[in-house]
Amino acid sequence: MGSYLVKRLFASLLTALLASVLVFLLVRLVPGDVVSQMMGQAGGETAENALRNFFGLDQPIYVQYANWLMQLLQGNLGTSWTRGIPVTQMLGPAFLVTLEIGLLTLLVATLVGLPLGIVAAIHEGKPLDNLIQAFNILGLSAPVFWIGLMLLVGVSTTFSWSPPLRYVSPVQSLGGNLEILALPIMSLGLLQAAAYSQFVRQNVVSALHQEYVRTAIAKGVSKRVIFFKHILRNVMIPIITFMGLILIQILGGVVIIESLFALPGLGRLLLSAIETRDYPVVQGALLIVVAAAMVVNLLVDLAYRLIDPRVRVA
């Protein structure tokens, strides 16, 4: 287990390094930089050069990268070029917002999607199954901004209520925080629940058709025992992988929901940093997303080893 972890960490670091080079180059390939953003249709050459020098943009790109990497190794992600505060100071709160959205969405998706999937599988081919599948198809095909907007407008028209605009963290006020997050979580959660339930249904259905299950049924083992002892354990592995995927997807893809509901999360921060060409923030935010994806993957792998003895041997 120890050597496995070391290998994993080493591979992760290498991936992160490659990702950082890619991000560094990609963000600089986009025409325009922070200086032209600051100047707009004003300014002049001297002023621009002075600013480029101030941001170190006049140095060769490999020097810029080396400087950034050296800082990074000291745990310093640099300073935001537009806000002037340390990048970590911006990423921290934003990441927590997004992480909370991600975890709550996962919770909602699990609570709704898992039972739905199981129920559908057990009633395979019957009306109930068809009904659940209809919900799944709807959820899978509806774009998140549409669902979010419909919820927002629907709730507003029905109850004359919309979420508060001043974000408060769960530490400041749990009630206030949930009041703000209720609609965005529902929008994302419904969507993910549909994917979830479809995925669970497929896995359970295929497990139900396995030889050993039929044998067990023939031997008269109770359905409940078969389900919880055999099937559930077998479908847990793909389901955990799926949960990991959902979480990564949310961490990287909440831009739309965060913009719709004015949530100061990582996705929105990343978007505005790309718009203003605030390279240190873009690099830092993407690094966080990559790191988070790696951590989730690692956790998924570790969970496998706990659940499935065969993986440990391999």
Partner 1 sequence: MLLSQVFRRRSLLRSGLMGAVVLGSLATAMPTFAQADGLYGPAATDAVLGGRLNMGLLVEPPALDPFHQAADARIRVTVLMYQGLFYESPTGEAIPLLAESYTVSDDGLVYTIKLREGVKFHTGAEMTAEDVAYSYNYIRDAENGSPGAGDFAAVDDIVVIDDYTVEITLSAANASLPMTLGNKYGAVIPAGYFDDENAKNAMNVASVGTGPFKLGEFVPNSQVVLEKNPDYWEQGMPYLDGIDFSILPNSASMLVALRNNRVDLVALSRPQDVQQVQNIAGLEIERWPSLGQTAIDLGAETAPLDNLKVRQAISLAVDKQEVMQASIGDFGTVLGTVPAGLQEQWGLPLDEVPMQGPDIEAAKALMAEAGMADGFTLTLTTINGYDWMDPAAVTLREQLGEIGITVDIQRVDLGVWINNFRSKQMGFTFNDWATQPDPNLLFYRHFHKAPEGADFRNWANDSASALLDEGRATSDQAKRREIYLEFQKELADTVPTIMLFSPDHITVRNDRVHNYVQHPTGWYYGLARTYLSE
When the beta carbons of 40 and 60 are compared against partner 1, the nearer one is: 40
Return the SS3 of 153. helix
Among 26, 107, 140, 156, binds partner 1 (CB under 8 A): 156
Identify residues 233-272 at the interface with partner 1 (CB under 8 A): 258-262, 264-265, 268-269, 272
Q: How far is the CB of 269 from partner 1 (least distance, A)?
A: 6
Question: Is residue 39 at the binding interface for partner 1, with CB under 8 A as the rule?
Answer: yes
Tokens 């965060």 sit at which residue? 258
Q: Single out the residue of 273, 270, 281, 276 nearest to residue 33, CA to CA.
A: 276
Among 4, 10, 54, 228, binds partner 1 (CB under 8 A): 54
Total H helices, total E strands in the chain: 15, 0
Tokens 């998140």 sit at which residue? 144
Question: Is residue 147 at the binding interface for partner 1, with CB under 8 A as the rule?
Answer: no
CA angle 240–242–246, rounded 5-degree value: 120
Question: Is residue 160 at the binding interface for partner 1, with CB under 8 A as the rule?
Answer: yes
Question: Is residue 166 at the binding interface for partner 1, with CB under 8 A as the rule?
Answer: yes
145: exposed, middle or buried (C-beta count within 10 Å: 0-12, 13-18, 19+)?
middle
Among 58, 107, 137, 161, binds partner 1 (CB under 8 A): 161
8 Å CB contact between 286 and 266: no
Contact region for partner 1 (CB under 8 A) — 12-20, 122-130, 145-153, 210-218?
A: 145-153
Q: How far is the CB of 41 from partner 1 (least distance, A)?
A: 5
- CA 177 to each of CA 89, 163, 253: distance values in angstroms, whole numbers, following the listed order: 21, 10, 21
8 Å CB contact between 66 and 56: no
The torsion angles phi and psi of 74, rounded to 5 degrees, stand at: -90, 10
Question: Is residue 31 at the binding interface for partner 1, with CB under 8 A as the rule?
Answer: yes
Contact region for partner 1 (CB under 8 A) — 56-64, 163-171, 193-201, 214-222?
A: 163-171
The size of the interface with partner 1 (CB under 8 A), counted in residues, is 51
Cα 184 from Cα 186, distance rounded (Å) = 5
Among 162, 210, 215, 222, binds partner 1 (CB under 8 A): 162
Question: Is residue 40 at the binding interface for partner 1, with CB under 8 A as the rule?
Answer: yes
Among 15, 16, 72, 83, binds partner 1 (CB under 8 A): 83
Q: Single out the residue of 100, 270, 93, 260 nearest to residue 187, CA to CA.
A: 260
Cα 193 from Cα 200, distance rounded (Å) = 10
Question: Is residue 12 at the binding interface for partner 1, with CB under 8 A as the rule?
Answer: no
The two tokens of residue 65 are: 């990268």
Q: How far is the CB of 15 from partner 1 (least distance, A)?
A: 28
When the beta carbons of 155 and 298 are compared against partner 1, the nearer one is: 155
Question: Is residue 21 at the binding interface for partner 1, with CB under 8 A as the rule?
Answer: no
Identify residues 199-238 at the interface with partner 1 (CB under 8 A): none
When the beta carbons of 117 and 184 are compared against partner 1, the nearer one is: 184
The torsion angles phi and psi of 232, rounded to 5 degrees, stand at: -60, -40
Question: Is residue 41 at the binding interface for partner 1, with CB under 8 A as the rule?
Answer: yes
Secondary-structure breakdown of the chain: helix, strand, coil percentages, each rounded to the nearest 5: 80, 0, 20
Residues in contact with partner 1 by the rule CB under 8 A: 30-33, 36-44, 46-48, 50-51, 54, 79, 82-85, 90, 94, 149, 152-153, 156, 160-167, 258-262, 264-265, 268-269, 272, 275-277
